[in-house]
Amino acid sequence: MKKYAGFRNGYVRVRIYGEQTERFLNLCRAREIRISDLRRESELSLTGCLQIRDFFRLAPIHRKTKVKIHILEKHGLPFFFYQSKKRKAFFLGLLLCAGLLLFLSGRLWEIDVEGNVRNSTPEILDFLEQKGIRHGMAKGRLSCSEIAAEIRKKYPDITWVSAKLEGTRLLLTVREGIFIQTTEEKDKSACDIMAERDGEIIKMITRSGLPRKKVGDLCKKGEILVSGILELKDDSQEVVKYEAVHADADIYIKRQKAYYHEIPMIYETYEWTGKKKKGIYLKAGRFYLEIADRTKNGWYQIAEEQKMYLTKSFQLPCSIGYITQNQYRKIKKEYTREEAKLLSWEILQAYEKKLMEKGVQISANNVKIEIDHKTCVSKGFLEIIEKIGEETPVEIPEQPAERTTEDG
């Protein structure tokens, strides 16, 4: 602390030379002039440090003792400011820097959200921005209680919110309640179930409606499989009324699906030469600066762009990218018979996998692979089992006329 005070007030290191150095020190002690770091160089000479205010009090003692006082070193802020009085730009910059730091410390530069699972952080940040809470705003305009209330109002599944300001950072901690998802009821309007493909019905479970087909029947595209019109009959089995219902059924058919794929035995590919070029680019809005060699055909370019952030959640409107260019050349190759068959088989398996991802079962594979000197051809058919049934609006027939007692 004493060192800091000495630097702040300024001090000098002096050499005191003369025959009355002892008397000089006694007089300084008597007048409470403190000399620190006192060292004797010889019988007539000694050195020490004095604060500036004490140095100017030495004049009467100097005259009485007739010693010589030489300033060896000057230290402290007063000397620094005196020597730098011509550097006005430096002090102006220092003042502006201090003002800028003070201004920035009064702003919000980071918004963090913790505890959220279903409601994503970008979604919550977008909502806050709509409410005027954004990076760079004055901290004095923030109300943590209002922020918490707005979030609870917007997101009903968030049961608890804590908003806390830590320096230039706003920390939002949320807890989400148990989310019960309600499934929308299906449209229960009257309809038929129609076949959208040809095939043989192998399974049929009807929950509502009147079946028009049964297991083992063949169906054609556009045929009604389950009717949404129910016939209400009397004891004499005559239709007295038609009632429209929402037909509902699970119907599975078996059919053949044609397959054809052709692979040329001679193909064109690319080969890396091993030559690489690297570069970078800067992007800010419409401004784009690229520092890289311009290449023409024969080079494959990969660009990896990274966003720039001031804080974890405050993205700057600029980015930096790294460019890697690899040279290649085109070459022609020819598959061997084994390679062509293996590739055809892999393509067929990938095709089957896509069908199975759609819920289609494959009961038989009748695809043959044939190779000549030019192409490798896979052709045949797959026997598949799939679910069909397309809902179509029902046409309600005219209701039968009411029977009277005279009609018998």
The domain 2-82 is placed in CATH, from the list 3.90.1300.10, 3.20.20.70, 3.30.70.2280, 3.30.70.1230, at 3.30.70.2280
Tokens of 111: 């918004």
Per-residue pLDDT, 3: 53
Q: Return residue ranges of the chain for CATH 3.30.70.2280.
A: 2-82
Which residues touch 37 (CB under 8 Å, ≥6 apart)?
13, 47, 48, 49
DSSP readout, 167-219? TTEEEEEEEE----PPPPPPP-S-EEEE-SS-EEEEEEEEEESEES--TT-EE
Give the Cα separation of 386 and 255 in Å (integer).
8
Structural element, H or E, at residue 104? helix 88-105
Per-residue pLDDT, 193: 93
Q: What is the dihedral of CA 212, 214, 217, 219, to 10 degrees?
A: 40
Each of the 408 residues of the chain gets a pLDDT tens digit; together they read 455 456 778 889 999 998 888 888 899 898 888 888 888 888 889 999 998 888 888 888 888 888 899 999 888 888 877 777 667 777 788 788 888 888 888 888 888 889 888 888 888 989 998 988 888 888 888 889 999 999 988 888 888 999 998 888 889 999 987 655 444 444 568 899 999 999 999 999 999 988 999 999 999 999 999 998 887 877 777 877 888 899 999 999 999 999 999 999 998 888 898 888 888 988 877 788 888 777 778 888 888 888 877 766 666 778 899 989 898 888 899 999 999 999 999 999 999 999 999 889 999 999 999 998 889 999 999 999 999 999 998 877 777 776 655 554
pTM: 0.47
Per-residue pLDDT, 91: 73
Question: Which of 189, 203, 323 is CA-nearest to residue 253?
Answer: 203
Q: What number of residues does the chain have?
A: 408
Longest dimension (CA), the chain: 158
Per-residue pLDDT, 5: 57
Tell the CATH topology of 110-176. Answer: Ubiquitin-like (UB roll) (3.10.20)
Q: Return residue ranges of the chain for CATH 3.10.20.310.
A: 110-176
Residue type, 47: T
Give the Cα separation of 376 and 370 in Å (integer).
6
DSSP state of 155: -
Per-residue pLDDT, 135: 82
DSSP strand E in 196-298: where? 199-208, 210-211, 218-219, 224-227, 229-233, 239-244, 248-264, 266-284, 287-291
Q: Quickly tell me which residue has 């095709």 as its tokens.
A: 351
